[in-house]
Structure 1
């Protein structure tokens, strides 16, 4: 019963965060002004991820979530609010904060690992995974609904797989609480956005997701499966990076070359349809990875390969059609 009340509380915190920014965002200077790289054509309040942050902190308190998860999440979220949504930090400053928070989590986690209660990989690759996921999530938060839907599905998949591998029940409930806060936010972001998550929310979700993937995994196989619960975001971002490197573009400059952006901007597909499509693809990939888990590591790699090829084929078609629309 207490868990159900907490889940509903997190839902209302996600809802309240979005509503408060709609009401007061303009007065406090939290407006996202459209530019030539935007996928929207009017100013919209941003920073609604503050509701998700409060939900995470409240859930952490009641579920006794370890400090080396919630504290760096708080730090990275506040830094993103200040240095991304309100003012601007340089890329180097942002990465310094992101790696600092990731190392805080991993160094404290390493002490737990020494006691034999967690999955282990070298710290540096894991730090790159956390920072990459945090930023990938931020880069992919560009149209109505996509970040909220992906957060909802991703954390529900984590909760489902957590039950399958007998993960800590508190972490499973924690995942459900985050999904509930995403639902609350989506009331004002989907199908037509009245408010955006902002960096305070998108970087936070990516950070928490990647940390929970590491924290809940009992083996490398668990890690590979759970990381795949955000597969559409990873494959879109990485394939777009390849295209931009090929075209000798700077990777630190904002752009509109992700597949979801081309679908919305060049091909004029409705935001809600693209976001829903990404969510369905995410759920299918995640459930497929869970289904093939009993068949071993090669089945997992084969599943990744199959869906990667499918996405690449679709992306080549979309890029060709988008070029024709110009």
Structure 2
């Protein structure tokens, strides 16, 4: 109990800090230039402050930095690189940084983290082989893709914050299912700290949102989720199949949208409003769609992820079972369709 109580207190502190800082940003948003008119990608019509994820990012950066002192040097890397990505996201919230600069910073951060993970928790000898280098490259590409996919999925009130919180909590439960002592590890503490910070922001970001997460929050969360996946998979804490299932709701929507638009010759990085969640939000409203996506993650993806952890031999079939219905739903909703519905 002596180790659990401080953990609970730190989690509550993380949530409260994120909540208070989102209010501070909101009250100073107009002066900072964080209130801008809706654009062609926006799913709202009233100018609303963005950048609310700054407090969440600060909580995550400080939390990972402190937890790194518990003999977890890779968390120090997560803290430093997460700060760089968050700062770039905040600058983008202020003045719209070019795609080239944003991708450059994200790519450099992801590559540094992947190499650091290989050096600190991987097999250095394997990493310098042709196969190892290929894996490092593919992992880096996946990380860059995921950060931007998560950012693009932050388009209606509460959807990205609720998904990040649910995924982190779900992953923590999976880890505890596999190892009852998981809560004693620094990475587990980092996951819960960031989940709590996300929850604090969600109190202000829930539909109708008083403040948007902004790129400072969405790119930071995308990077942190990627980092946690890589750490827990490399250390055999959570299997990759379980992660693939747990992230299936966002992965399906973003992937099908990009694929359909790219097949028509559209540039995937151009602003649009044709993700499945955006198409649905115009029919049903933000709150209904955010609740739908949260329910799909909690009631569909999470049980299948648990099943894949309990039955590794069936993991491939469970991955297919999770993605096939979600893919059908995304296509039906209009993910990547030619026109807005």
| TM-score where L is the length of structure 2 | 0.87
Tell me the distance in 1 between the aligned counterparts of 2:237 and 2:185.
20
- Are residues 1:260 and 2:283 paired? no
How far apart are residue 323 of structure 1 and its match?
8.5
How far apart are residue 17 of structure 1 and its match?
2.3
Point out 4+ residue stretches in structure 1 off by more than 6 angstroms. Answer: 322-325
Tell me the distance in 2 between the aligned counterparts of 1:132 and 1:159.
24
Please show how residues 105-120 of structure 1 align to structure 2 within 5 Å. 105-114=113-122
Q: 1:190 aligns with which of 179, 182, 206?
A: 206
Tell me the distance in 2 between the aligned counterparts of 1:147 and 1:70.
21
Counterpart position of 1:172: 188
User: How many residues in Structure 1 have an aligned counterpart in Structure 2?
Assistant: 319
- Are residues 1:80 and 2:89 paired? yes
Counterpart position of 1:51: 55
How far apart are residue 324 of structure 1 and its match?
10
Counterpart position of 1:11: 15
How far apart are residue 58 of structure 1 and its match?
2.6
Please show how residues 1-326 of structure 1 align to structure 2 within 5 Å. 1-64=5-68, 65=72, 66-82=75-91, 84-114=92-122, 122-166=135-179, 167=182, 169-217=185-233, 218-219=235-236, 222-265=239-282, 267=283, 269-283=284-298, 284-297=300-313, 299-319=314-334
Contact 1:48 1:195 in 2 (8 A): yes
For each residue in 1:187-223, what CA deviation from the matched residue of structure 2 results, as whole angstroms up to 9, or x when unmatched?
1111210100100000100100111111112349712
Tell me the distance in 2 between the aligned counterparts of 1:171 and 1:138.
23
For each residue in 1:53-92, what CA deviation from the matched residue of structure 2 results, as whole angstroms up to 9, or x when unmatched?
111123123322531111111111111111x211222222
| TM-score where L is the length of structure 1 | 0.91
Contact 2:242 2:308 in 1 (8 A): no
Give the secondary structure class of the aligned counterpart of 2:268. Answer: coil
Tell me the distance in 2 between the aligned counterparts of 1:37 and 1:80.
17
Q: 1:325 to 1:28 in 2, by over 3 A?
A: closer
Contact 1:161 1:290 in 2 (8 A): yes
Tell me the distance in 2 between the aligned counterparts of 1:296 and 1:311.
22
Give the secondary structure class of the aligned counterpart of 2:79. Answer: helix
Tell me the distance in 2 between the aligned counterparts of 1:254 and 1:220.
37
How far apart are residue 295 of structure 1 and its match?
2.1
When structure 1 is superposed on structure 2, of 53-62 and 219-228 the one drifting more is 219-228
How far apart are residue 286 of structure 1 and its match?
2.5
Tell me the distance in 1 between the aligned counterparts of 2:304 and 2:211.
33
- Structure 2 unaligned segments of length 5 or more: list them: none
When structure 1 is superposed on structure 2, of 132-141 and 304-313 the one drifting more is 304-313
Tell me the distance in 2 between the aligned counterparts of 1:159 and 1:293.
13
Tell me the distance in 1 between the aligned counterparts of 2:113 and 2:246.
21
For each residue in 1:159-200, what CA deviation from the matched residue of structure 2 results, as whole angstroms up to 9, or x when unmatched?
112223435622112111111111111111112101001000
How far apart are residue 136 of structure 1 and its match?
0.8
Contact 1:191 1:272 in 2 (8 A): yes
Q: 1:89 to 1:176 in 2, by over 3 A?
A: same
